[in-house]
């Protein structure tokens, strides 16, 4: 009898396990289409946990996906190779501790990287300071500037895949990059965009928000001036100065981003200056006598038809028509702030990673073809029990691979590269466990 009772008790203990395991699976995803890769071979080549958060991704012309990390002591370059289905680290990027949304490819196949300090590092905030008019913002600015005291500035680097891709490097080894110099002394490089035809590299620096032009032929920088002059802290994170982190080079050579008061601005190469437009980003605006806040640009995404979409730090999606200076608000995919990353899928859906700092990100899509509006795909959770399982919370980079696979860069400690393959026959309407077809 005692044996029977023991067997029943053991069965009761074991019974919830499958149910608990099932909670790891997100019913919005077709589970076999979602997976992740570690950033190297564990305990041998894998990028160390504190330096692994992914803050830049690029789909290379050679079919490989390149990424860069930000960390406590160093930034690393890596690649994902479809031929081996693995991530291979390519070494430390110069003296950079971060490569933040600053990874582009030149027409000869080489990569251009913008280095700097680690943007994800917590900003030490002063607890006690004198009061007064705008006292909090004044002190925040001092705290933001503190890590940059004595900093020489973020370097531009060039990496040649034809020379460096064939060798896997250990975490202690440098990446074979060419150091091009410092475009804005004392600042990190916050965003990059390339006009390969004009041989110009455009960038925004942090924390002073300087817009610079790097002449690739002369290897020389020109500081055009600040894209924003007001010092506010309404996004993307509350301890970051509100500065746009994306640039778009239009076919006519103009370079679009956002500026003061949430206005869309552009750099006009013909006039060599920044121009303010009447277009204003959707989001939350504060215009009181003692506070001023507005959204900033997070992402630009252009499709093959010439349509240009953008997202804001308040979490809105919009479409911009530059020819008639019109901006159309397409809505807010999530109640929370921020669209942290975005990319256009092969199925004409715009995929976005949405969510605030230290909260769970979700993948949400918007159908640019008009077949549906927003779709909430849920959290990015992989369950390959008993071999491995992982639930991701934070992401800061996203790109579409040559075969339509979505690559998403986790930006937490011990980060991984996530892969999601949309589409498939019978999948057009999304996966429904009650009717899997």
pTM of structure: 0.90
Chain segment 316-350, per-residue pLDDT in tens: 999 999 999 999 999 999 988 899 999 999 999 99
Task: Residue 192: count other Cβ atoms within 10 Å of its Cβ.
Answer: 25
Report whether pLDDT(10) > 50: no
Question: Please, which pLDDT band fits residue 14 given cuts at 50, 70 and 90?
Answer: very low
Q: How far apart are CA 336 and CA 315, in angstroms?
A: 7
Chain segment 405-418, per-residue pLDDT in tens: 999 999 999 999 99
Report whether pLDDT(433) > 80: no
Chain segment 87-124, per-residue pLDDT in tens: 999 999 999 999 999 999 999 999 999 999 999 999 99
Question: Please, which pLDDT band fits residue 23 given cuts at 50, 70 and 90?
Answer: low
Question: Please, which pLDDT band fits residue 284 given cuts at 50, 70 and 90?
Answer: confident
DSSP state of 262: G
Report whether pLDDT(363) > 80: yes
| pLDDT computed for residue 402 by the predictor | 93
Residue with the larger pLDDT of the pair 357 and 367: 367
Report whether pLDDT(1) > 50: no
Of 388, 403, 395, nearest to 341 (Cα)? 395
Residue with the larger pLDDT of the pair 300 and 239: 300
Q: Residues 48-72: what's their mean pLDDT?
A: 97
Q: Would you kindly state where each structural domain of the chain is located, as residue ranges?
A: 27-51+345-428
pLDDT > 90: percent of the chain: 72
Q: Residues 147-161: what's their mean pLDDT?
A: 97
Chain segment 238-247, per-residue pLDDT in tens: 788 999 999 9
| pLDDT computed for residue 358 by the predictor | 77
- Residue 106's region, left for phi above 0, alpha for psi from -120 to 50, else beta, is beta
Residue with the larger pLDDT of the pair 102 and 15: 102
| pLDDT computed for residue 359 by the predictor | 82
| pLDDT computed for residue 357 by the predictor | 82
- Contact between residue 253 and residue 213 where contact means Cβ atoms under 8 Å apart: no
325 is written with which tokens?
């200076």
Cα end-to-end distance, the chain, whole Å: 47
Q: Residues 150-170: what's their mean pLDDT?
A: 95
Residue with the larger pLDDT of the pair 427 and 220: 220
Report whether pLDDT(425) > 60: no
pLDDT > 70: percent of the chain: 89
| pLDDT computed for residue 46 by the predictor | 96
Residue with the larger pLDDT of the pair 288 and 209: 209
Which DSSP string do the residues of 272-329 spell out, in sequence order?
A: TEEEEEEEE--S--EEETTEEE---EEEEEE-TTS-EEEEETTS-EEEEEGGGTEEEE
Least confident piece of the model among 16-30, 63-77, 157-171, 404-418: 16-30
C-alpha separations of 80 from 57, 231, 259, 402, 408 in Å: 10, 39, 35, 12, 12
Across the chain, what does the average pLDDT equal?
89
Report whether pLDDT(57) > 80: yes
- Contact between residue 317 and residue 333 where contact means Cβ atoms under 8 Å apart: yes
Pairing, β 286-288 against β 273-280: unpaired
Report whether pLDDT(29) > 80: no
Question: Please, which pLDDT band fits residue 12 given cuts at 50, 70 and 90?
Answer: very low
Helices (H), 15-78: 16-22
| pLDDT computed for residue 236 by the predictor | 81
Backbone φ, ψ for residue 22 (5° rounding) = -65, -25
Of 302, 267, 264, 265, nearest to 281 (Cα)? 264
| pLDDT computed for residue 356 by the predictor | 87
Report whether pLDDT(264) > 90: yes
Q: Residues 307-313: what's their mean pLDDT?
A: 95
3-class SS of residue 123 = coil
- Contact between residue 204 and residue 187 where contact means Cβ atoms under 8 Å apart: no
Least confident piece of the model among 287-296, 302-311, 380-389: 287-296
């Amino acid at each position: 009898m005692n044996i029977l009772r023991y067997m029943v008790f053991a069965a009761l203990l074991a019974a919830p396990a499958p149910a608990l395991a099932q909670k790891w699976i997100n019913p919005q995803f077709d589970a076999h289409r979602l997976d992740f890769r570690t950033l190297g071979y564990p305990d041998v080549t894998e990028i160390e946990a504190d330096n692994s958060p992914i803050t830049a991704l690029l789909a290379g012309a050679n079919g490989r996906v390149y990424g860069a990390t930000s960390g406590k002591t160093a930034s690393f370059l890596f690649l994902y190779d479809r031929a081996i289905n693995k991530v291979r680290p390519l070494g430390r990027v110069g003296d950079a501790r971060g490569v933040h949304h600053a990874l582009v490819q030149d027409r000869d196949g080489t990569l251009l990287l913008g280095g700097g300090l680690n943007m994800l590092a917590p900003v030490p905030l002063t607890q006690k300071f004198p009061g007064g008019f705008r006292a909090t913002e004044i002190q925040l600015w001092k705290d933001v500037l503190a890590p940059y005291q004595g900093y020489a500035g973020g370097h531009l680097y060039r990496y040649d895949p034809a020379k460096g891709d064939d060798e896997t490097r250990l975490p202690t080894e440098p990446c074979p990059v060419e150091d091009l110099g410092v475009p804005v002394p004392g600042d990190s490089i916050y965003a990059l965009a390339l006009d390969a035809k004009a041989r110009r590299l455009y960038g925004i620096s942090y924390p002073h928000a300087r817009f610079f032009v790097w002449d690739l032929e002369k290897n020389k920088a020109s500081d055009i001036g600040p894209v924003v002059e007001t010092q506010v802290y309404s996004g993307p994170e509350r301890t970051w100065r509100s500065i746009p982190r994306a640039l778009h080079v239009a076919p006519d050579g103009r370079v679009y981003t956002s500026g003061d008061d949430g206005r869309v601005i552009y750099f006009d190469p013909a006039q060599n200056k920044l121009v303010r437009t009447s277009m204003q980003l959707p989001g939350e605006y504060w215009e009181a006598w003692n506070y001023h806040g507005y959204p900033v640009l997070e992402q630009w995404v252009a499709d093959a038809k010439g349509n240009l979409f953008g997202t804001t730090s308040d979490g809105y999606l919009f479409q911009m028509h530059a020819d008639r200076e019109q901006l159309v608000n397409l809505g807010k995919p999530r109640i929370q702030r921020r669209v942290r990353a975005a990319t256009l899928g092969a199925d004409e859906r715009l995929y976005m990673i949405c969510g605030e700092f230290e909260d769970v990100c979700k993948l949400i899509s918007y159908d640019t073809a008009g077949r549906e509006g927003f779709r909430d795909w849920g959290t990015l959770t992989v369950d390959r029990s008993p071999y491995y399982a992982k639930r991701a919370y934070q992401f800061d980079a996203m790109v579409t691979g040559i075969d339509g696979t979505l690559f998403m860069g986790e930006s937490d400690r011990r980060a991984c590269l996530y892969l999601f393959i949309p589409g498939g026959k019978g999948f057009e309407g999304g996966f429904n466990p009650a009717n899997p077809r």
